Amino acid sequence: AQSVAQPEDQVNVAEGNPLTVKCTYSVSGNPYLFWYVQYPNRGLQFLLKYITGDNLVKGSYGFEAEFNKSQTSFHLKKPSALVSDSALYFCAVRERTNAGKSTFGDGTTLTVKP
């Protein structure tokens, strides 16, 4: 069975500082991993994904994430946070043998203060 954990409900950073939103996962075999962002009263938007290859993946809005197989983690990062990055972030995992069903974490609220 696949599962994902986002250990922090809330992350606060100052504008211009680097940010990290943590995600760990559990799957059988190698995973597909995804990050999504949700703004208030909106649907989720896809940010980036890891399928195979380079462990560092780059996505939309300057975000990147690093796949770490030994630590079963896929943390979301950005070198310099913007106030407009404030939103709810979801990590998701899918087993390669799964027909198409992802498991989402509970979400982490990122607040960037000016």
Partner 1 sequence: SQTIHQWPATLVQPVGSPLSLECTVEGTSNPNLYWYRQAAGRGLQLLFYSIGIDQISSEVPQNLSASRPQDRQFILSSKKLLLSDSGFYLCAWSLSQSTYEQYFGPGTRLTVT
Q: How far is the CB of 35 from partner 1 (least distance, A)?
A: 9
The residue written with tokens 């990290």 in the block is 20
101 binds partner 1 per the rule CB under 8 A: yes
Cβ atoms 20, 76 nearer than 8 A: yes
Size of the site for partner 1 (CB under 8 A): 27
Which of the residues 37 through 76 are near partner 1 (CB under 8 A)?
40-46, 49, 51
Please list, in sequence order, all residues whose beta carbon lies within 8 angstroms of the beta carbon of residue 7, skipping any fewer than 6 positions away.
22, 24
DSSP conformation class of 28: S
Please choose, out of 10-18, 65-73, 74-82, 98-106, the segment that lies near partner 1 by the rule CB under 8 A.
Answer: 98-106
